[in-house]
Structure 1
Amino acid sequence: MKKSFIIILSAVLLTACGKKEKEAGDFDKPAATEQGAADASSYDPKRGEGKFDKVDLGATLDQAMATKGEEVAGVKCISCHKTTDEKLVGPGWKGVTQRKKPEWIMNFITNPDPMIDKDPEVQAQLEICLVRMPNQSLTDEDARNVLEYMRKNDGVK
């Protein structure tokens, strides 16, 4: 009886710990779906994917926008990103506005999923960070303010 119970319990535990099918929206889905892989050839790594084709930045920092962006980032971003180059959950922000075009940044923070699926640099970051950036549903205005805060963080005056 005892032996039968152990065998049944082991079978139940093995079944319960087995691989489950991923559901839509799982954060740990693979880096490229079949459709994403097919579309990757048309992906522009300088612009990203999304509605932002041209983002006009002022020559100087818009302090009011940067202040609003810091508030938004405090609620939506800073729990996963540091403003230094140090990784927290996601990569640090230091230097991001010098490495990436503003269109890419705006497209990524407003529409991360297709870019995670197609951008080789983002996929490499995913290998390091192991967590997909969730879509924070930022408005275009909030995203632009966060971009201005990133510029301030990178020393734009």
Structure 2
Amino acid sequence: MYKLSFIAVALLMLISCGDKSKSTEDFSKSTSSEEGTAAEATDPSSYDPNRGLGKFTTVDLGDKLDVAMAKQGEAIQGVKCAACHKLTEEKLVGPGWKGVTSRHKPEWIMNFITNPDPMIDKDPKLQAQLELCLMRMPNQSLSDDDARHVLEYMRQNDGVK
């Protein structure tokens, strides 16, 4: 009985390990956009407190709220953000979202959503917030479109019509 169990476990281990040398992807190399972000993050003179660190230099919000986009942002917020952020001014794990769009420019918000680590390392206000919250915002790996939808939901939460 024990021999049969041992053989079954050994066979499963052999199958699950497989030949990893057949993989063609090289994860040790960064893409050009990641290299640009890394270079930007290490250059202290590149930090703009109005824009933050990242690829977003301008964000066109339009004249009024995009309700469909805000609805998509609400769904993303429910999955990725709600565990740490309340929609009020009250702190949960991270700060509340109420008023965030009046405190920060859209470019800063988009850059922070998509690139939090380098911004936390450079922005004195984010560093002070980190001391209050005691938890770094994790990179949620949102796409640019997802981040834009979340920004629109933030605008809706702040009363933009």
Q: TM-score, normalised by structure 2?
A: 0.73
Please point out which of 83, 86, 91 is paired with 1:82.
Answer: 86
Count residues in correspondence: 123
2:160 equivalent to 1:156: yes
Q: Distance in 2 between matches of 1:128 and 1:144?
A: 27
Match of 2:63 in 1: 59
Q: Distance in 1 between matches of 2:77 and 2:149?
A: 9
Higher relative contact order, chain-length normalized (CA < 8 Å, sep 6+): 1
Offset of residue 59 of structure 1: 1.3
Summarize deviations over 1:84-116 as a string: whole Å, max 9, x none: 000000000000000100000000000000000
Hey, which of these two has a bigger chunk of helix by percent?
2
Moved over 2 A (4+): 35-42
Identity %: 76
Match of 2:28 in 1: none
The one-letter code sitting in structure 2 at the alignment partner of 1:99 is R
Offset of residue 38 of structure 1: 6.4
Q: CA RMSD in A?
A: 1.6
Match of 1:104 in 2: 108
Structure 1 residues 38 and 139, CA gap change in structure 2 (3 angstroms): closer
2:122 equivalent to 1:113: no
Q: Relative to structure 2, which stretch is displaced further, 59-68 or 39-48?
A: 39-48
Provide structure 2 residue ranges, at least 5 long, that are not aligned to the other structure: 1-38
Q: Distance in 1 between matches of 2:57 and 2:147?
A: 14
Q: TM-score, normalised by structure 1?
A: 0.75
Larger radius of gyration between Structure 1 and Structure 2: 2
Summarize deviations over 1:39-81 as a string: whole Å, max 9, x none: 3333100000001000000111000000000000000001000
SS in structure 2 of the partner of residue 122 of structure 1:
helix
